[in-house]
């Protein structure tokens, strides 16, 4: 069974940085793509960033230039480096992965941006 476990969330001041991690229970090379989503309080879950099996990345316009998705195949981990954080980045951040037409989700990690 595929498991994804997020970590790295917490409370940070505006303008600060955090790095989220998503550790997978199997080799991330197996996945077609891995993504980060976020869900702010009272809002729908929205896509943040994608990294494909080939290493191609894409980021939502709202985070482009501030957030970077990356991966470490040896550690079976995908990261989301978040810089210049804003209060509107406050959300639960979820890791997602595609494998053989199946969709897997982690339980999320809370990021709170506040002074």
> What is the per-residue pLDDT across 15-24, written as a single tens digit (0 to 9) for each?
999 999 999 9
Average pLDDT for runs of 10 along the chain of length 115? 96 98 93 96 97 95 98 96 98 94 95 97
pLDDT for position 100: 85
Between CA 83 and CA 61, with CA 81 as vertex, the angle to 5 degrees is 70
Residue 1 has a pLDDT of 83
**So what's the pLDDT on residue 101?**
85
- The angle at the Cα of 80, spanning 113 to 21, to the nearest 5 degrees, equals 95
Mean pLDDT across the chain: 96
The pLDDT value recorded for residue 97 is 96
Q: Please give the structure tokens belonging to residue 76.
A: 């079976």
């Amino acid at each position: 069974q595929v498991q994804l476990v997020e970590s790295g969330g917490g409370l940070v001041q505006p303008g600060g940085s955090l790095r989220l991690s998503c550790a997978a229970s199997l080799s991330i090379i197996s996945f077609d793509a891995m993504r980060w989503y976020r869900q702010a309080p009272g809002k729908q879950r929205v896509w943040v960033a994608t990294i494909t099996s080939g290493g191609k990345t894409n980021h939502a316009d709202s985070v482009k230039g501030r957030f970077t998705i990356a991966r470490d195949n040896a550690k079976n981990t995908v990261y989301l480096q978040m810089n210049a954080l804003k209060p509107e980045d406050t959300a639960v951040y979820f890791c997602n992965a595609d494998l053989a037409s199946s969709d897997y989700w982690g339980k999320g990690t809370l990021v709170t941006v506040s002074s």
